[in-house]
Amino acid sequence: MGDSTTTTETNPNDGSTRTTTKNGDGSSVETTTGGSSGNTKVKVRSASGDSATIFISGKTGEIKVTRP
């Protein structure tokens, strides 16, 4: 599978934190949490390029799963 790299960034506009892990095979996981909205977003991508996003609203508790 190879090595993986993880980066963490903070958005100065809303205070949210995005952590991205990219694997050697091309798959990745990106998580965005916190911030003024309180929302959580997780985007996963497989090595073949398929992806899905899970969005959890911090205000309503609504959960959405999207797949392009």
Q: How many CA atoms lie within 13 A of 12 on its CB side?
A: 0
* pLDDT tens readout for residues 20-67: 999 999 999 999 998 888 899 999 999 998 999 999 998 888 888 887
pLDDT of amino acid 68: 66
41 or 1: which carries more pLDDT confidence?
41
CA pair distance 8, 18, nearest whole angstrom:
6
Domain count for the chain = 1
Quote the CA–CA distance of 32 and 47 in Å, as a whole number. 21
Question: Rounded CA gap, 23 and 56, in Å?
Answer: 24
The pTM (predicted TM-score) of the whole model is 0.81
Q: How far apart are CA 32 and CA 38, in angstroms?
A: 10
Residue 66 or 1, more confident? 66
Domain that holds residue 35: 4-66
* Distance of alpha carbon 27 from alpha carbon 15, whole angstroms: 26
